[in-house]
Amino acid sequence: MAAFPYASPIEKGWRYLHRLICGMVILFLIGPILTVLPLSFNSIPFFAYPMQGFTLRWYQEFFLAERWQTGLHNSVFIAISVTLLSTILGTLAALGLSRPHFPCRAAVTSILISPMIVPVIITAVAVYFFYADVGLLNSYIGLILAHTTLATPFVVITVTATLIGFDHSLTRAAAGLGAPPITVFYKITLPLIFPGMISGALLAFLTSFDEVVVALFVAGPEQRTLPKVMFAGVREYLSPTIIAAATVLIVFSIAMLAAIELLRRRSERLRGIRNN
C-alpha cells in the first residue's frame, strides 16, 4: 500500500498499529524456532538464555550415540525406499491421469489423494489393525508401505502439475516420426516431467523422514526412526541432543524444500509458464 500523502493522523496511527501487529505475528511465527535452535550449542544442559558457553557436544552425541545413529540409519533407509516406490507409482499414475482420455478422472484422483486428507491418526490405527492381521507389524516392509501410501499423493500432485499444459502433439509427432512408445517416453516425456518427479521424490522423502504417528503404531523397536527417538525423548527426558537433532532436521528440510522451489521455477521457465 503506497502511503497516501493526504492520510489523516488517525489513519497513519492505524497504519503503524497494523505494522506493529504484523511484526508481532511474524515474531510469533519465526521466534520459537530461532530461539530454540541456538540452545543446541549451549554448554550446559539447560534451555534458557543467556547461554553459558559454546559447545558441539550435543551434536557429537547425536552423531556418535548408538540410539540416534540407529534412528538416523533407519530413517534414511526407509525414506529412500519410500521415495523410490512412491516416485515410480506416482509418476505412472500422474502420466495416466493427465491423458485426455482418462475415465472417471475425478473419482480416481480423489482416491489417490485421499491419504493426504484422512487424519493421520486414522491412517495409523487402520493400518495397525490391518497389519496385525496380515503380520506386517514391526517390520521394515510394513513401515515402508505405510509411508509410501502417505507419500504418493505428493508425487501425483507435483508430476500432474508439470503435465498441465503438456502439449500432447509432441508425443504424437515423435510417434508419427516412428519412435516406439519407450523412446517417446525417454526422449520427450521424461525430460519434461523430470523437475516434477524430482520435486515429488524430495517431498516423498521428507514425508517419510519426518513422519512419526504411523511409525509410533506400526514400527517395532527395531525400526526406531529418528522422529520416534525424538518423540520418546520429548516425552521422557528432554536433552539438548533432541534440539541438535531438530536442528539437523530443519537444516535438512529447508535445503530440500529450497531445491524443490528452484526446480519448480526452472520447470516453469522451461515450459514458458509465467506467474500472473
Contact yes or no for 157/98 (Cβ under 8 A): no
Q: Find the binder of other proteins among 69, 170, 213, 271 (CB under 8 A).
A: 213
* Segment near other proteins (CB under 8 A); pick from 63-71, 73-81, 121-129, 189-197: 121-129
The residues near 115 (Cβ < 8 Å, ≥ 6 apart) are 123, 149, 150, 152, 153
- Other beta carbons within 10 angstroms of residue 185's beta carbon come to 15
Q: Find the binder of other proteins among 42, 74, 148, 199 (CB under 8 A).
A: 148
Q: Find the binder of other proteins among 9, 16, 48, 53 (CB under 8 A).
A: 48
What binding mask, one character per residue, do residues 164-203 give for other proteins by CB under 8 A, x or -? --------x--xx---------------------------
Contact yes or no for 138/223 (Cβ under 8 A): yes
User: What is each CA distance from 238 to 13, 46, 233, in whole angstroms?
Assistant: 45, 10, 6
Contact yes or no for 227/211 (Cβ under 8 A): yes
Q: Is 33 in the site for other proteins (CB under 8 A)?
A: yes
Q: Is 95 in the site for other proteins (CB under 8 A)?
A: yes
Q: Find the binder of other proteins among 13, 19, 44, 222 (CB under 8 A).
A: 19
Q: Is 14 in the site for other proteins (CB under 8 A)?
A: yes
**Three-state SS letters, 1-16:** CCCCCCCCHHHHHHHH
Q: Cα(158)–Cα(199) distance, rounded to whole angstroms?
A: 7
| CB closer to other proteins, 64 vs 126 | 126
Q: Is 111 in the site for other proteins (CB under 8 A)?
A: yes
Residues 221 to 250 in contact with other proteins, rule: CB under 8 A: 227, 230-231, 234-235, 238, 242-243, 246, 249-250
